[in-house]
């Protein structure tokens, strides 16, 4: 029996999302049926200090003495023991940080949204191709067994031909008190706003059904409405209608109003996939779905029971497994979240922002490198 393929990770950015991901890397892949691969955290870096990186590694449970701590991103990406860099900085800084890793010869998994705009994404994919390096947007939701199962149900024709997908990720907040102006959720200098932070998940469900499963996918036409937050000018509530050739996707997002206000599911399903024979409903939250059900005509079975699929940890390891297998097999991209699809989603968000006159500072929209 061959040994599992080992992928050695360097963590760039030591915030909350990085801690969730790092803790998940430490879980035994064999417990989720992924004994063919192994993840090892060998380094972490911040832009501020070595002690902060050391504390991050310790807090995440990385065994003492097994990983290097760095106080600059440059030193992290140049560590010869690192195979792949996980970029977990604010999305306003993804473009330069991914470039830094690629230019150091490292594979990359970059948090969503991949970049601030589609032009930046195209440049990163071009550089990765030139350097023969793997790169992927970290849309973890796409790799969940539940998401895969729903896609398989759609492909099987269980609900007929899909004509519409309605998706919502909205979280109730008293915005003025929940997010001070410097908070990344509302800070324009950090590409703040509901669309890029939350809406990308709503679009994920639209795209993984109406685009990903299409044999000849094309970026949809867009009609959108943006409501801005007066405090900083970012978007607080945004609706995007994606007009595909034979179907429609409606992606909604907000950090002002909520989709599941009481946390009891009384707001109804977060995602509804409508077909000519029935529908599939997926419960809130859109980013980490744990249950779904199929509803058919009454004479064909009616509403099925909710099917739950819960994972251990933070459930971010599925995407890491996808990276490991793709790199092991010599691939530059993963078929679950291909480059072309990342660019298409970014183009939809670009057009949504254009229609809503939502512009970020030139410093973070820039493609200069």
Q: How many CB atoms lie within 10 A of CB 159?
A: 20
Q: Which residues sit opposite 39 in a β-bridge?
A: 7
3-state DSSP: the chain helix, strand, coil percent, rounded to 5?
Answer: 35, 25, 40
From the list 134, 213, 214, 204, the residue with the least C-alpha distance to 348 is 204
CATH 3.30.360.10 domain locations along the chain:
145-308
From the list 84, 63, 28, 61, the residue with the least C-alpha distance to 324 is 84
Report, as ranges of residue numbers, the positions in the chain whose pLDDT lies below 70. Answer: 1
**pTM value surpassing 0.95:** yes
**Residue 158 has what pLDDT?**
97
**Residue 263 has what pLDDT?**
86
**Residue 49 has what pLDDT?**
94
**Residue 311 has what pLDDT?**
82
Q: Which CATH number fits domain 145-308: 3.30.360.10, 2.170.270.10, 3.10.110.10, 3.30.565.10?
A: 3.30.360.10
Q: Are 274 and 163 in contact (CB under 8 A)?
A: yes
From the list 302, 263, 295, 292, the residue with the least C-alpha distance to 278 is 295
Residues in the chain: 369
**Residue 84 has what pLDDT?**
99
CATH 3.40.50.720 domain locations along the chain:
5-138+317-333
- The first and second tokens of residue 67, run together, are 């990983």
CATH annotation of 5-138+317-333: 3.40.50.720
**Residue 75 has what pLDDT?**
98
Whole-number Å distance between alpha carbons of 202 and 270: 9
Characterize 110-133 residue by residue with b for buried, 16 or more Cβ atoms within 10 angstroms of its Cβ, and e for exposed.
bbbbbbbbbbbbbbbbebbeeeeb
**Residue 25 has what pLDDT?**
97
- On the question of a cis peptide bond just before residue 357, with omega within 30 degrees of 0, the verdict is no
The structure tokens 């670009």 sit at 350
Whole-number Å distance between alpha carbons of 9 and 82: 6
């Amino acid at each position: 029996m061959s040994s599992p393929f080992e992928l050695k990770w360097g963590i760039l950015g030591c915030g909350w999302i990085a801690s969730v991901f790092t803790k998940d890397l430490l879980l035994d892949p064999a417990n989720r049926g992924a004994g063919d691969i192994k993840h090892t955290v060998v380094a972490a870096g911040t832009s501020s200090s070595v002690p902060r990186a050391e504390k991050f590694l310790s807090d995440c449970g990385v065994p003492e003495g097994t990983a290097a701590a760095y106080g600059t991103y440059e030193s992290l990406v140049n560590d010869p023991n690192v195979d792949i860099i996980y970029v977990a900085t604010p999305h306003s800084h993804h473009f330069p940080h991914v470039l830094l890793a690629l230019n150091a010869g490292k594979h990359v998994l970059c948090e969503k949204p991949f970049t601030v705009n589609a032009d930046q994404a195209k440049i990163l994919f071009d550089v990765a191709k030139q350097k023969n390096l793997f790169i992927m947007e970290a849309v973890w939701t796409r790799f969940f067994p539940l998401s895969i199962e729903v896609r398989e149900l759609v492909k099987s024709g269980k609900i007929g031909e899909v004509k519409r997908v309605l998706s919502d990720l909205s979280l109730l907040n008293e915005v003025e008190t929940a997010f001070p102006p410097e908070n990344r959720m509302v800070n324009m200098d950090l590409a703040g706003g509901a669309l890029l932070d939350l809406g990308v998940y709503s679009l994920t469900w639209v795209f993984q059904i109406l685009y990903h499963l299409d044999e000849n996918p094309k970026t949809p036409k867009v009609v959108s409405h943006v409501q801005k937050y007066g405090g900083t000018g970012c978007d607080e509530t945004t609706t995007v209608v994606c007009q595909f050739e034979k179907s429609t996707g409606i992606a909604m997002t907000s950090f002002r109003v909520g989709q599941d206000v009481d946390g009891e599911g009384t707001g109804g399903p977060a995602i509804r996939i409508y077909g000519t024979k029935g529908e599939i409903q997926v419960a809130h939250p859109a980013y980490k779905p744990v249950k779904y059900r199929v509803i058919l005509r009454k004479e064909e079975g009616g509403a099925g029971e909710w099917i739950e699929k819960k994972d251990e940890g933070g459930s971010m390891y599925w995407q890491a497994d996808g990276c490991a297998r793709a790199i092991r097999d010599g691939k530059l991209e993963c078929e679950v979240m291909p480059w072309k699809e990342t660019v298409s989603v970014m183009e939809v968000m670009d057009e949504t922002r254009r229609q809503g006159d939502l512009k970020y500072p030139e410093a973070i929209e820039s493609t200069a490198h």
